[in-house]
Chain A
């Protein structure tokens, strides 16, 4: 009879963000472990609270099935002597596998004749196999950060204090970090029993519920959502429930009870993002708003426990939030005493990045970059340009305010600048551009709403990227301390969303030329510095990776994306357009696409190897064969045709591709008629030069060598 498996790791309060990923890992590694152990099983359920990671696997088979196992022994001529009698080696092997000598089999393998023993291995009982499966799953759990405790070597997210491991009603024999598994869990810290007897997996959730632990995190989450809404309704508003905060809070409590608290209405004069951050960010409260979405002077907090002493808890929480709001009120009053222009000046005293001057220097660069961008974008009229310029000048000023200086409110940089700009009389477009210029802050954040904000954000991110690449601080693997991937991704997203035709190559070059020569004290740091040209190449490659990612998200196959980005490109919109065109062509006219690839990859393959000279020039005087001259003429004509098609607005990709396809036949004829890799070096190099000219024609559109075809 199959039985249910229960495994619970009891821990001291584990960080909220660690729980779900750990449960996923446990689920994956248990499934894998059970499959490898040849145990059948049914549904897998996970439960997580601040103090436990638990998993139930339904219907685990009681035993492994028996299997025929085959073992390879010594070579046949060593196991048996010439007369066919078993040698010592033969007898030894048979004995070691528990069979008699005449049960040994001799079989021919590709390495000669060998002896084999076939053994029927009876399956083991699940309870004997499971401890090592669970133990492995526990040891292989990875967390963003682990720790040691007491005098143990074990590492875990927080100290492990108890383990429950049961198959059916039987406790499994398992030890981790000095803790031996049993059938006893623990209830809620203050409301439940310190020893909760678990009879079997089936009763786990209910046994804990009786001890004030709601083990099912989904249930807890929904319970909080409902109760928070009800508590908000009682004070005449509705709870503003951020999904991430809701998840976090659900992993901070085992038995949630929601309650509403109040603060003085005067604090509603604070910038709303500040009040919300004080509530959500540090205290993990849900703000309360009215029908129109305006904040009310209430908050909802989730208490870990029942409704005993709720008034005490409420009063305590109300007391905590007031000094924080007082601080913010003080910052606001002090900060508004100085103009943003004065603050922008004082940025000359703040270092931007080591060796790259101050934030005042950075501000100047932003103004130049924004001017360049505004000049490139036809939609950036006088108003947009004016707003973007002014915003560029003021956008970093909030970094020297008390409000942003408070570590708990620092994440509001930009937003505070926007608020202050409004309160100090800047125009709405300027304030908006300042407020938006860090967006998108992550993959789920929106790009700026205004064009001025978008251009300033692009300029800011380009300057950060240029600075880091110049310092040689290029992200590798998972190490990306300056979040450069996110910033490059942001630039690409803004360009695509805003349909902004920008010459990125030029922008990269300009950003790098603007960056000052790094002044570094340590030799180790100075050695990493890249020249502007090398940094530009690296940065373009970095952008290509981001665009590559976006294109594959849109359904363009990775080889087409790579082919386009591997050929010279400068405009993100155009490169994406070209990739999509080729991708469609491949889908709709596979034969035409194939012809193109065949034609394009041949000259590429023969002329690319690194051992060939870098510079080769065609000398028509050295032509010997008719097809050499012919191909050169055709390539030159095609080059002009392709360039003209691509220069058209919008680019005529169909025309360009036709022009390339017309070269397929001549290229084929050329290779039939002309031997390229001849002995004579001069002649050979001249032919290679001719093929490079041909290759370059294709490279206007894509590097077809990157295309993967069936059979490659």
Chain B
């Protein structure tokens, strides 16, 4: 199964489960959770079922393209369902079968792994899913996001599509993965891994990044003052990524670190609150819609 086929299959599968297949958000972010389609939509009472691919950037994970498993930019396949359906685990397992994995042939386990993101003021309870000892998915019931209690609770499923595809194709280096029938992952992305690793670790302009961090933070507050939580959140994401770049450049000292994380968390919490009250002003449109559908 090619990498692109795997992504198609997941979209096909979750689309048939009632998920809206949205598309990737076009800003740099460290995880699919940070997309507004998860971070914001899981807040408040509105039902929400979505699935999407999200490119993720983690500057410190770069290895100049040379490590067979680690990249500074990779993909997550993200599924969120709110409220969490009673058979969510069974649905997830069916998605593995849709990829051609036969449950009887493997050892699939749900291994305790609670999730926490200090930057997002978020915490959840769940598992990492193991297949034959390998972690293939993070499975989380959100309890708190942006400092707000989640009710209803969102179930989040995050697949590592590269790992799954490597397993399915029986290759042990991301570069050898068949993206499509004709092109490998390495052919598509090796140069990018090299250049961005070099940029993240060596050449990114630290002074500019520090300045940007402050500017983005200021702008986020300005947009919140204008009661525009969505643009404000864009600047939160930019802050977060800028911090990650500074971190990769080794520019953040141990003592500065907690302070900067707190600054981003404070922003995220402010946006979360602002988003919920904005949705409330709008009458929680998706609640109305689901009530109409039920009648």
Contacts and interface: CB of A to CB of B under 8 A. Distances in A.
A237 interface: no
Given A316-B132, A320-B133, A305 B110 contact: no
Contacts of A312: 105-106, 132
Interface residues of B, number: 38
Nearest to A317: B133
B131 A316 contact: yes
Nearest to A302: B107
B63 to A, nearest CB: 11
A309 B133 CA distance: 14
Interface stretch (B82-90, B222-230, B264-272, B276-284): B82-90
B134 A308 contact: no
Given A147-B141, A190-B108, A320 B132 contact: yes
A13 interface: yes
Contact of B110 (A12, A150, A191, A308): A12
Contacts of B132: 312-313, 315-317, 319-320
B137 to A, nearest CB: 13
B112 A15 contact: yes
A149 B133 contact: no
Interface string A289-330: 000000000000101110011001101110111010000000
Nearest to A179: B86
A190 B103 contact: yes
B196 interface: no
B152 interface: yes
B286 interface: no
B151 to A, nearest CB: 7
B109 interface: yes
Given A308-B104, A312-B132, A50 B141 contact: no
A334 to B, nearest CB: 14
B188 interface: no
A305 B107 contact: yes
Given A149-B153, A161-B86, A323-B69, A316 B106 contact: yes
A145 B113 CA distance: 12
A586 interface: no
A321 B134 CA distance: 9
A113 interface: no
Contacts of B110: 12-13, 50
B125 A309 contact: no
Contacts of A315: 132
A147 B104 contact: no
A15 B143 CA distance: 17
A666 B127 CA distance: 74
Nearest to B45: A151
Given A12-B89, A319-B134, A320-B133, A151 B105 contact: no
Contacts of A15: 112
Contacts, number: 97
B114 interface: yes
A150 B133 contact: no
A158 interface: yes
Contacts of A253: 109
A194 to B, nearest CB: 8
Contacts of A301: 133
A349 B114 contact: no
A688 to B, nearest CB: 55
A103 interface: no
A148 to B, nearest CB: 5
Interface in A86-113: none
B127 to A, nearest CB: 6
A316 B105 contact: no
Given A148-B151, A190-B104, A320 B84 contact: no
Given A148-B151, A150-B83, A151-B151, A191 B109 contact: no
A9 interface: no
Contacts of B202: none
B211 interface: no
B153 A16 contact: no
A321 B106 CA distance: 17
B167 interface: yes
B111 interface: yes
B134 A316 contact: yes
A350 interface: yes
Contacts of B255: 351
Given A304-B109, A317-B133, A150 B172 contact: no
B294 interface: no
A151 B153 contact: yes
Contact of A147 (B108, B134, B143, B152): B143
Contacts of B208: none
A350 B254 contact: yes
Contact of B104 (A13, A305, A350): A305
Contacts of A350: 254
B107 A303 contact: yes
Given A148-B151, A149-B153, A316 B109 contact: no
Contact of A319 (B84, B85, B172): B172
Contacts of A190: 103-104, 108
B111 A252 contact: yes
Given A190-B108, A252-B109, A305-B104, A316 B167 contact: yes
Contacts of B254: 349-351
Nearest to A257: B107
Contacts of A13: 109-112, 127
Interface in A246-300: 252-253, 283
Interface in B116-143: 125, 127, 131-134, 141, 143
A283 B133 contact: yes
A148 B106 contact: no
A145 B114 contact: yes
B133 A147 contact: no
A150 B109 CA distance: 22
B114 A316 contact: no
A42 to B, nearest CB: 35
A147 B111 CA distance: 16
A253 B133 CA distance: 13
Interface in B49-90: 68-69, 83-86, 89
A135 to B, nearest CB: 20
A2 interface: no
Contacts of B69: 323
B294 to A, nearest CB: 14
A386 interface: no
Contacts of B85: 150
A159 B83 CA distance: 13
A703 B105 CA distance: 71
Contacts of A16: 112
A319 B255 CA distance: 38
Contact of B141 (A149, A191, A303): A149
Contacts of A320: 132-134
Interface in A386-405: none
Contacts of A303: 107
A321 B153 CA distance: 35
Nearest to B93: A189
A470 to B, nearest CB: 19
Closest A-B pairs by Cβ, 7 of them? A316-B132, A309-B105, A151-B152, A13-B110, A317-B133, A15-B112, A147-B125
Given A145-B114, A349-B254, 4 more contacts: A148-B143, A303-B107, A304-B109, A321-B133
29 contacts: A16-B112, A147-B153, A148-B141, A148-B153, A149-B84, A149-B153, A150-B83, A151-B151, A158-B125, A189-B103, A190-B103, A190-B108, A304-B108, A305-B107, A313-B107, A315-B132, A316-B106, A316-B107, A316-B132, A316-B133, A316-B134, A317-B107, A317-B132, A317-B133, A320-B132, A320-B133, A321-B133, A351-B254, A351-B255
Interface of A: 12-13, 15-16, 50, 145, 147-151, 158-159, 161, 189-191, 252-253, 283, 301, 303-305, 308-309, 312-313, 315-317, 319-321, 323, 349-351
Interface of B: 68-69, 83-86, 89, 93, 102-112, 114, 125, 127, 131-134, 141, 143, 150-153, 155, 167, 172, 253-255
